[in-house]
A and B are shown apart, each in its own frame.
Chain A
Amino acid sequence: MQFLVIVLLTLSLLSAATPPTNFTESQVATGLSSPTAMAFAPDGRIFITQQGGALRIVQNGSLVATPAITLTVDPSGERGLLGLAFDPDFATNNFIYLYYTRTSTPRNNRVSRFTLSGNTISPSTEVVLLDLDPLTSATNHNGGALHFNTDGKLYIAVGDNATGSNAPSLNTIHGKMLRMNKDGSIPSDNPFFATTTGNNRLIWTTGLRNPFTFSVQETTGRIFINDVGQNNWEEINDGIAGANYGWPSTEGATSNPAFRGPVYTYNHANQFGGGFSCAITGGDFYNPSNNTFPATYTGRYFFADYCGGWIATYNPSSNTAAPFLTGANSIVDIRTNSDGGLYYLERGNNGRLMRIAYTGPLAPTISTHPQNQSVPTGLNATFTVVANGSNLSYQWQRNTIDIPSATSASYTLNNVSLGDSGAQFRVIVTNPTGNITSNPATLTVTTNQPPVPSITAPATFIGAQTINFSGGATDPESGTLAPSALRWRVDYLTGAAVRPFVQEFTGAGGGSWLVPQVTPYTLTNVFFRIYLTATDPQGNSTTISRDVAPQVATLTLQTNPSGLIFTIDGQPATAPQSFPAVVNLIRPIGTSTPQGSGSTRYNFLNWSDGGAITHDITVPATNTTYTANFQTQYQLTTSVNPASAGSITPSAFYNANSVVNLIATPAAGWQFSNFTGPANGATVTMDAPKTITANFTPYPGMLALTIQSKTGSGEQRIWTLNITNLGQGPVINARLNSIAITPIGTAQISVATPLPLTLGNIAPGASISIPVTLNWPLSTPPTRARMFFSLSGDFNHASTVTLNNLFR
């Protein structure tokens, strides 16, 4: 069955897979467009290739929206961006290797190295390592998987380009597993290096049809090659240098000694609880650094079938396979992550990345076994085990016999005697899922008594102090030991961290060190620990220690007013804060200015010790308060009403309780009226944020009205009125409200134009014209009228203009 056909058969329906009991699966990412392969970066990011050329990243559980790079590829058939691998030194060089189909003529697949920057790859970083042989028109059987092996070499799986005769041929690299140095050069120990030329020297194995995926067992370097079969058999091949896996002469198991048969093969019948199977498209060993599956899965090889939608496990030890998961949709890759999860990549289900985790109980494991002990008579011997798992119980044994009440992680044998010498101690760790027995540890009891050392040193330290320490040791058998029998070391303990401070030295009766005055470890949970190990001539040693604790005083940092932000050691905090500090350390304190928000702010004035806004202090030996003083300022917010009628003292911050003169300046045609807000006449006292508005009124306008023209005939006449502002100031929002008509005659005259008419603002001296339509019945003699025009505007402007002797 051709893989191209398989691709076309991809189901689009979402479906849920069924993992075994005590396993759960969860979706990591979805929306991947035709994914082809994945790899885990050392920093936890998951990189996924899409056939169309995009390299996607899943970071912190989310699919990054923008691809790291989108290559120009030929994505037809089974071509495209098909494989990726991280450089073994990725953490320092950010190299990533990609396998993709170029759009060149003729087409060919290419392996290139790129350099990642953040979540982005610049195309300019591409270094071409290998251009594979030109492709025919066949778009299938490209292989495409890339992985580094533990030997530091890059392995490249290449399909036969749908030409079976390519697979066994040493004249083409199609149908092969290739092996190259990561700089693109060819390893001289490749199996055909001496018998071929050019790129054919890259050939590591032959006889492969379409090795779409393969996997490297990190603990052993073993390679399993998943070779997609034709009509009948899918193969898991053991990667062996120089091997020929038989394609196209054979498929599936073979007894032909010329070929290396697969370690496991399955046919296309229903397999492992799934349906019709057609192509092995993913596989990986389960050997994560953090093993979270039951121990029986360790070392198993998980593999998947594209059509069957299943995942099975192959046990290399027993050469048997067993079902694991069914119901997945078009799996294209399987990878084991260092977090212990098994990830699989679906082309179906809208392109998903899924994670399978084990949630059931685990049998215990031992990470640290009990160690052999050599103890003088009369002293105690303690054996300890470190085990992993839940609900653990312990049973210690002496010479394989249970020790009553010895049921904790440690066992101590008190007051040992020579009769205890040679005894073996081990522990059985048990939980409801299983048990494990530790390695035995042997107790050796000696008659020699250990030396007794002593240390003289100050109990406390302050910054910049020189600490002198001395000591010695006596031995019950040898008396006072020479300084050459003494070994010294000083550690600096900061919280839970232990930092070597004075390197180990011998041959001296003491020493000294200078306490730093500037240190990043500014808390008081720090101390120095002096270790002295004395060793007697018989080799017995005793180690003692003495702690030198910090001298502490209370520092208080305050602001005036309180509640503002200060910094100590560059870290911000809200005043006041009191905290213990190591005496005589130099520490920076500071603050920022201005502080506050909105209409109240605080400007830094000074520190109580006279220091600059940020300065160093030396922690005094007595409790001390440092205060940052601020000037409080309030914002005066001013405005003008109406907005364009004038100006006022601008908005600004002023010192608290200062008196601000308010200055209002009218614009042309306006006059100042008054201040509204908390003004006291023309001043305002800034004892709080204040808002003041300067109100202006226009100088009086005076509207005159005349007839500009008359048009129209019959009974409807259009009169154009000319309205002129004869006043000193503008008329704001002028309106013609009404026209009252007193006719002289019998006709009833009415105004057809809807009133009021909005005229807008009319500046002094300006005129506007407005048409007004009158209904004026024809009559004889011609009717004459007197009209009263009612005009108004804002700021109490009102006027009535009378026009007499108006004829039709």
Chain B
Amino acid sequence: MRTLLLLLLANTTAVALPILTLPNSASVFAAAPNNTLLIPFSLTPDATNYVVINSVQGTVTRSPGEIYSILDILSNFVFNNAYALAPGGPAWTDTFTPNLVGTTAGAIGSIAFPASATPGPASGNLIIGYELFDLDPFVDSAAISLGNNTLTTLFTVNIEAPTSIPEPGTFAVMGLSLLVFCISRHSAARATSHRHAAQHPPESR
């Protein structure tokens, strides 16, 4: 009975499903060959239910035969930190800022462009897979799944002409270091208060 009621509620509140936005202007990014692009995001919670991110998938197509896939960061973060986006809270916005060491900034995913990447505009698509629960499934064993769904968005990457500075791989090494730092910090926070973390997205503010 409870499950049926929750399913009905989920259906009637479909308009309040989470919303994914890419905060860059017109969802346009810039990337240099031989560098890794990290994609910031903003994820507005569902009005009623908990959101658990399953996967981040997508591609960036520069030209026929030149296609790059998105490496999933967000669902790995959620997996490793047992994190559910609590209902009704503020949007979870993370902008990868490699120069701001010590923040909890994250990214939805990354795209590695090789040195041979052709400069110019590339079109990208991105799919987030998620599952809705009435309670935080990481905490409450009574949580009931209300169904799976996806969020899809399109974006553009302007691949820049290659330059000699910084040295190839610098950004990638820095980004990876910061990512490891952020994940370790979130894990520590989850260990102290799961429920709190669920009701308040990991703060970067």
| Interface positions of A (Cβ within 8 A of B) | 671, 699-700, 702, 704-710, 724, 726-728, 780-782, 784, 786, 799, 801-807
Asked whether A726 lies within 8 Å of B54 as measured between CB atoms, the reply is no
Q: What are the interface flags for B70-92 relative to A under an 8 Å C-beta threshold, 1 for contact and 0 otherwise?
A: 00100110110000000000000
B45 in the interface (beta carbon within 8 A): no
Q: Please tell me if the beta carbons of A705 and B57 are within 8 angstroms of each other in the complex.
A: yes
A784 / chain B contacts, CB cutoff of 8 Å: 137-138
Chain A nearest Cβ from B125, distance in angstroms: 6
- Contacts A704-B127, A707-B129, A728-B67 given; does A803 touch B145 at CB 8 Å: no
Question: B167 CB to closest chain A CB, in angstroms?
Answer: 29
CA–CA, A42 to B183, complex, Å?
112
Binding site for A on B (CB under 8 A): 52-55, 57-59, 61, 64-65, 67, 69, 72, 75-76, 78-79, 125, 127, 129, 131, 133, 137-138, 141, 143, 145, 147-148, 150
Task: Select B148's contact among A702, A707, A726, A804, beta carbons within 8 Å.
Answer: A707
Q: Number of A-B pairs whose CB atoms are under 8 Å?
A: 86
Asked whether, in the complex, the Cβ of A699 is within 8 Å of the Cβ of B75, the reply is no
Of the candidates B54, B59, B67, which one forms a contact with A805 in the assembled complex, judged by CB atoms under 8 Å apart? B54
Which residues from A are CB-within-8-Å of B53? 804-805
Mind listing 7 A-B residue pairs with CB under 8 Å? A726-B58, A726-B59, A728-B65, A782-B137, A804-B53, A805-B131, A807-B133
Report yes or no: A807 in contact with B65, Cβ–Cβ below 8 A. no
CB pair A807–B52 under 8 Å, yes or no, is yes
A215 to B156 Cα, complex, angstroms: 110
Please, how many angstroms separate the alpha-carbon atoms of A727 and B125 in the complex?
10
Which of A705, A784, A802 has the most chain B CB atoms closer than 10 A to its own CB?
A802
Kindly report which residue of chain A lies nearest to residue B137, judged by CB atoms: A807
Contact among A705, A709, A805 for B78, CB-based, below 8 A: A805
Are B65 and A671 in contact (CB-based, < 8 A)?
yes
Q: How far is the CB of B8 from chain A (nearest CB, A)?
A: 17
Within 8 Å CB of A702, what residues of B? Answer: 59, 67, 69
Q: A804-B75, A805-B52, A805-B53 are in contact. Are A710 and B145 (CB under 8 A)?
A: yes
Main SS of the interface on chain A? strand
Hey, which chain B residues are within 8 Å of A710, CB to CB? 145, 147-148
* A-chain residues with CB within 8 Å of residue B61 when the two chains form the complex: 727-728
Cβ-defined contact, B75 with A709, below 8 A: no
Q: Given A700-B67, A782-B137: A706 and B59 within 8 A (CB)? A: no
Taken together as a complex, chains A and B put the C-alpha atoms of A724 and B69 apart, in Å, by 14
Q: Which of A708, A727, A801 contacts B59 (CB 8 A)?
A: A727
Q: Considering the chains assembled together, what is the distance between the CA atoms of A801 and B75 in angstroms?
A: 12
**Residues from chain B with Cβ under 8 Å of A803 in the complex:** 54-55, 75, 129
Given A700-B65, A784-B137, A804-B55 contact (CB < 8 Å): yes
Contacts of B67 in A (CB 8 A): 699-700, 702, 727-728
| Docked complex Cα distance between A724 and B55 (Å) | 14
A374 to B24: give the CA distance in the assembly, Å: 139
Residue among A707, A781, A786, A804 with most chain B CB within 10 A = A804
Query: Most B CB atoms within 10 A — which of A706, A782, A799, A806?
Result: A706
Q: A671-B64, A671-B65, A702-B59 are in contact. Are A807 and B79 (CB under 8 A)?
A: no
Q: A699 contacts which chain B residues (CB < 8 A)?
A: 64-65, 67
Compute how far the CA of A141 lies from the CA of B64 in the bound complex, rounded to whole angstroms. Answer: 97
Q: Bound complex: CA of A708 vs CA of B54, how far in Å?
A: 12
User: Contacts of B127 on A, CB cut-off 8 Å?
Assistant: 704, 706, 724, 726
Name the residue of chain A whose CB is nearest to the CB of B127. Answer: A704
Q: Give the residue of B59, B76, B133, B141 whose beta carbon is less than 8 angstroms from that of A780.
A: B141
Min CB distance A9 to B, Å, is: 93
